[in-house]
Structure formats: structure tokens, C-alpha cells
Chains A and B, each alone.
Chain A
């Protein structure tokens, strides 16, 4: 069982917005502003798309955005595109130089 809880699946039509949640506790998501999100296409390594809750690395499209409220972080994908279909994982720093992940969410573009 993963430390952080994500819905196993999410879906939306092209052009729509989809939000994926990542729920933890006050010891991880709620306690630190070090939540990251990763996109993973089949057979590929994960790719960082959001770090420190809401920051985007250079080159990541601005239709990816992140936020946090209490013990739940969220990733919003706006203006869904076919290439956004992938698995998405959240992670959180948990103190003492430790990191935990969510179980992943499969995003389907209908």
C-alpha cells in the first residue's frame, strides 16, 4: 500500500480539464511544500512536471498546474491533449531525508 493515496484512474475528453488528487497526512503532504508530480508514458522513465507543489520545470507546458490544500495535493491538466494520456504519480518529502510516492493514476483521454 502506497503512502500517498491517488485515484487509480481519471479521464476526460480533449480540451477538457482533469484534476488528480494526492492525499497524505500532516507528516508528509500537509507538513511540507515539497510535493512533486511525474508523468510516465508506457515503457518510459517518469518525467518531472511539477515540483514544490506548483512550480513547473523549464520546458513543461503551462497546461499542467499544481496546488495543495491541507493534506491533499492536486494536479490539474487543462486543455487535455492526446499526448497527456499517461500514468501520473505524486511524491512528498516526509522529513529525515525521506521521500514517499502515491500509487499512480492512469489518465485516459477519451
Chain B
């Protein structure tokens, strides 16, 4: 059974770049044809899809963040990563890495989430 675990800093200063990594265990990131996603949940509970990457490296991002976001995959480490630059307080959220089984929003496996706070 696939398991996901996020890692990265819990505190980021305004204007800096957030870097988070998701380690996939229980299966190879290149098997199954899955889409490896990042989703965030800001205080007050709304979920927001950030984007996903296919194991081949093809990426898709939500239009509102497309200019600031980058998702990459490291198949040798069975990891995928999120970079979000020019962070502001509005980016404070719990960030989840998630497996999308089909690429159509079948988000069947979630990491536990990591809280990222943007503050000086």
C-alpha cells in the first residue's frame, strides 16, 4: 500500500521560496501511471489544488499559482517536490502531497500534511 510523507521547513520568511519534498513508499513512483499532486489547505479550511506531475516529468499547475510554482520528480529517490516562490502570508497553509490515481481528481492517498507558516 502506497504511503506518502511530506518533509520541509515549517516556517518561511516572506518573499522566500518554499521547498517541500514528498517521499513515496510502498510502490515505485514510476509504476501505475499515477499523478503525484500537491494540495494545500489554508486556515479556515478551503482545499486548493496546486498541481501535479506525471512520472515522465509532465506537469500541470493551477492557473492562479502557475507563475510561482514548480513540481519536480526524482525517480531514483522515489520522491517528488514542490517549490513555491515569492511566499506571502496568504500562502500559510497545511500542504499535502497526494496520489491521484487517474489524473481526474481521484485523490486516493494523502500524506499527513505539513503546516507551513509564512512569517518574519
Q: Interface residues, chain A, CB within 8 Å of chain B?
A: 2, 32, 34, 36, 38, 45-48, 51-52, 57, 87, 89, 91-93, 96-101, 103-104
Chain A residues with CB under 8 Å of B106's CB are 34, 36, 48, 51-52
**Chain B positions 5-25 with a Cβ under 8 Å from a chain A Cβ:** none
* Chain B interface mostly: loop
Taken together as a complex, chains A and B put the C-alpha atoms of A69 and B104 apart, in Å, by 19
Number of A-B contacts (CB under 8 A): 59
How many chain B residues touch A (CB < 8 A): the figure is 20
Chain A residues with CB under 8 Å of B96's CB are 45-46
Beyond A34-B104, A46-B107, A51-B108, 15 extra complex contacts between A and B, CB < 8 Å? A2-B46, A32-B104, A34-B106, A38-B47, A38-B107, A45-B110, A48-B107, A51-B105, A52-B106, A87-B45, A89-B47, A93-B105, A98-B63, A99-B105, A101-B47
| Shortest beta-carbon distance from A45 to chain B in Å | 4
Chain A residues with CB under 8 Å of B107's CB are 36, 38, 46, 48, 91
